[in-house]
């Protein structure tokens, strides 16, 4: 497979759709290749199970038109930085050579989201070191470091470094989220109610997108955080090279 432009690492199937489904749809409709690698199968989730969630993840991937979706099958509820987990993420970065990688913001309500953000940050660094050895099909992989690591918002807020206008793709995002039928509100389900299956949850997702859209003068937006400073070019606003 050829290189992926943007590679997203998440803790659970549905994290990427909830956090940045609109950005993903915008990128793929613009011709960029996007991959999602879920670190766990979400088997600890109160509703559904690993099998239903895998089928739902596949359906959501088709709606978002992404190029690849893989699962590293780390144990759900135990996503914490370790040499083994960091090496597995490094191996995926070296395999797909993305320009940009994206992970959950490293302070959140769910410890696995925190862990995923930390693992990916470590992997971003070690992936660029030739002496940090990883193998693909028994063959030593080349060192490679993506250009940028961005974080997306799950439950806890952060002050965004930048916001992506997702006005044109919000409907695709909501459709991709609803593909995870077992996780969200379903009047016919008799599974226990959870934080995200409450009927208000999907409205909150939309309200958050409206809030961040408003911040940039658009209808809907998705916030991102970057620990590094981002270079700015006046030409982006003046619409000619400066």
Q: Which residues bind Zn ion (CB under 5 A)?
A: 11-12, 15
- Cα–Cα distances in Å, from 73 out to 43, 53, 79, 98, 237? 10, 13, 10, 21, 43
Give min distance, CB of 11 to Zn ion, in A. Answer: 5
Instruction: Single out the residue of 133, 183, 157, 9 nearest to residue 79, CA to CA.
Output: 9
- Name, in order, each residue with C-beta under 8 angstroms of 31's C-beta and a sequence gap of 6 or more: none
Q: How many CA within 13 A on the CB side of residue 65?
A: 14
Work out whether strand 221-225 and strand 148-152 pair parallel, antiparallel, or are unpaired. Answer: antiparallel
Contact 7, 100 (CB under 8 A): yes
- Closest to Zn ion by CB, 103 vs 141, is 103
- Buried b / exposed e along 87-112 (16+ C-beta atoms within 10 A): bbbbbbbbbbbbebbbbbbbebebeb
- Cα–Cα distances in Å, from 125 out to 119, 128, 149, 178? 10, 6, 10, 35
Residues 181 and 21: their CA atoms lie apart, in Å, by 16
* 3-state SS class at 164: strand
Structure tokens at 223: 């916030």
């Amino acid at each position: 497979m050829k290189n992926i432009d943007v590679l997203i690492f998440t803790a659970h199937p549905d994290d990427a759709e909830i956090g940045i489904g609109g950005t993903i749809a915008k990128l793929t409709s613009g011709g960029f290749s996007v991959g999602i690698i879920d670190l766990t199968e979400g088997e600890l989730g109160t509703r559904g199970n690993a099998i239903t969630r895998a089928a739902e993840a596949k359906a959501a991937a088709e709606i978002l038109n992404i190029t690849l979706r893989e699962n590293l099958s780390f144990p759900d509820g135990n996503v914490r930085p370790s040499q083994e987990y960091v090496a597995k993420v490094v191996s995926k970065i070296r395999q797909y050579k993305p320009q940009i990688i994206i992970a959950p913001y490293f302070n959140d309500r769910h410890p696995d989201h925190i862990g995923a953000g930390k693992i990916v940050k470590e992997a971003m660094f070690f992936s660029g070191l030739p002496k940090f050895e990883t193998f693909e099909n028994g063959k030593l992989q080349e060192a490679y470091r993506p250009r940028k690591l961005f974080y997306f918002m799950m439950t806890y807020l952060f002050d965004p470094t930048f916001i992506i206008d997702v006005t044109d793709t919000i409907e695709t995002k909501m459709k991709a989220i609803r593909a995870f039928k077992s996780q969200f509100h379903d009047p016919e389900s008799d599974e226990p109610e959870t934080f995200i299956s409450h009927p208000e949850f999907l409205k909150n997702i939309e309200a958050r997108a409206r809030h961040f859209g408003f911040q940039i003068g658009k209808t809907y937006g998705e916030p991102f955080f970057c620990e590094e400073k981002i270079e700015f070019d006046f030409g982006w606003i003046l619409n000619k090279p400066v």
